[in-house]
Structure 1
Amino acid sequence: MDILLVAGLWLDGSAWDEVVPELEALGHRPVPITLPGQGDGSTSATLDDQVAAVIDAVDAAPGKVLVVGHSAASSLAWLAADARPQRVAKVALVGGFPSDDGSEYADFFETKDGVMPFPGWGPFEGADSVDLDEEAKQRIAAAAIPVPEQVSKGVVRLRDERRYDVPVVLVCPEYTPAQAKELLDAGQLPELSRVKHLEYADIDSGHWPMFTKPAELARILAAATTES
């Protein structure tokens, strides 16, 4: 199965470089997506541009796909399911949850000169980055791509309730499945509360398992293609 890989803020398609060969060895065709404004040299990209890039990748696949969204890009994966509910076999959300309709995509940090730069590691101290050594942190920060403000402050628009028929697996890195369920039970994940087929997968990592646990992450994603 084609597995579309969409990394979160400040990352391009190369974030999946260590996951790709692992998925290929498991018999799948991974498709890392470099989002407009996050690796193509554009600073004027919008959220709609990024959504269109993911939908285009869904449309280009020969059959149904697994769409993987990491962190903030969990919303992009969910928007793809909303746009193409009959083409998306399943959505995997890695360390993130889909925003609800009408909310801003990822207005989390200060913007400057029309972009939201990587804020440094301060906001990610603790469980998020516990498995990253200093060398890895420096490498990730050096490669971080400022996110266009029109992306981070873009408004999420969901239109097709058939998205709730698309199975979802929550891959839980810096938090546990039990903690994710607590958020769900507390009403903090309104989109996921209506999903008809919701699974959980635990991975013992920080927020960026594609860098620290690529083989394990690949196994979880491969398993998601066969589970209902």
Structure 2
Amino acid sequence: MDILLIPGLWLDDASWTDISPALEAAGHRPVPMTMPGVGQPAELSAGIGIADWVRAVVAQIDATKGPVVLVGHSGGGNVVWGAADARPDRVSRVVFVDTVPPPPGSEISEFPVVEGVIPFPGWEYFPDEDVYDIDAATRARTLPQTRSVPARVPTDPILLTGERHRVPVTLLMGSLSQDELEAQIDRWGPYGDEYHSIDDATVLKIGSGHWPQFTQPARLAELISSALTQ
């Protein structure tokens, strides 16, 4: 099975380096991707928005024979959901890594813009629940891997108009089980509506912070592989 691996903000295909070998060993074909404009200055990336990131994934789907699985970490969840919306007949499953399916018109989040792009704000920017398991050595190792993202991408609304809800979904949540997520998501307005509209959704708890590809790569790879057999 071809598995397209879509990173969250500030990361590129290298962020999946510790995941891909285990997926290959399980018989899959991981395809880590870097989104358009990542690491580029404003003069090259100012016109790039979330729709361009979705189109990049759709183009990869179209270039692949047979069905694909889409894996999206964090803000990459918006991207894979948009791609599944565009190609529901080609996507056998969407796997969200510590994020939930976005409703139409929603954004990723807002971050400080510097010189026309959004640089990684540093590990200290995030709440402890997101980064508690990233030790000093891992922070030092991964910080040089971070890249700026185009200024529009985090705040562009996601366009969703297709039949995405019939695509099976697995949510791999850092700290929430299915019961815990469902106890909360109805308080999240349209995010709850989007979740409940999915025909087949399963939630599994990773037991990690927000970046399990760095802190628990073996478990994340195992959960991704097991999701494909659901």
TM class by smaller structure: over 0.9
- The reply to whether residue 202 of structure 1 matches residue 200 of structure 2 is no
Residue 23 of structure 2 is aligned to residue 23 of structure 1: yes
**Aligned partner letter, 2:31:** V
Specify the alignment match of 1:61 in structure 2: 64
* Distance (Å, rounded) in 2 between the aligned partners of 1:11 and 1:130: 19
TM-score, length of structure 2 as denominator length? 0.91
The answer on whether the counterparts of 1:169 and 1:224 sit within 8 Å (CA) in structure 2 is yes
2:39 and 2:148 in contact (8 A); partners too = no
| Contact 1:91-1:167 within 8 A present in 2 as well | yes
- What are the residue-to-residue correspondences of 1:182-201 with 2, within 5 Å? 182-188=183-189, 189=191, 190-201=193-204
CA distance in 1, matches of 2:93, 2:172: 13
Tell which deviates more after alignment, 67-76 or 118-127. 118-127
Letter of the 2:180 partner, please give it. Answer: Q
SS at match of 2:203: strand
Shift of 1:217: 0.9
| Structure 1: gaps spanning 5 or more residues | none
Residue 38 of structure 1 corresponds to which residue in structure 2?
38
- Separation in 1 of the partners of 2:103 and 2:84? 13
Find the counterpart in structure 1 of residue 123 from structure 2: 121
Shift in Å, 1:64: 0.7
Q: Deviations for 1:68-101, whole angstroms, at most 9, x for unmatched residues?
A: 0100111111001100000000100001123221
Answer yes or no: is the 8 Å Cα contact 1:34–1:40 preserved in 2: no
Distance 1:115 1:174 in 2: 31
* 1:78-227 alignment runs, 5 A limit: 78-104=81-107, 106-160=108-162, 162-188=163-189, 189=191, 190-227=193-230
Partner SS for 1:179: helix
Q: TM-score, normalised by structure 1?
A: 0.92
Which piece of structure 1 moves more, 16-25 or 136-145?
136-145
The amino acid that maps onto 1:128 is D
Distance 2:177 2:129 in 1: 11
Distance 1:64 1:40 in 2: 32
Question: 1:40: Cα distance to partner?
Answer: 6.6
Q: Deviations over 1:169-210 (max 9, x none)?
A: 010113333332122233542321200101011112111111
Q: Which amino acid aligns with 2:20?
A: V
RMSD after superposition: 1.6
Contiguous gaps of at least 5 residues in structure 2: none
Percent same amino acid at aligned positions? 40
User: Matches of 2:213 and 2:19 in 1, distance apart?
Assistant: 6
Task: Supply the distance in 1 between the matched residues of 2:184 and 2:39 (Cα, whole angstroms).
Answer: 33
- CA drift of 1:47 comes to 1.6
Question: 1:91·1:168 contact (CA, 8 Å) conserved in 2?
Answer: yes
Deviations 1:23-55 (A, max 9, x none): 000000000011002257753322221111111
1:104-141 CA-to-partner distances (Å, cap 9, x unmatched) read: 3x232111222111112233232211111112112222
Contact 1:173 1:206 in 2 (8 A): yes
Provide the aligned length of Structure 1 versus Structure 2: 225
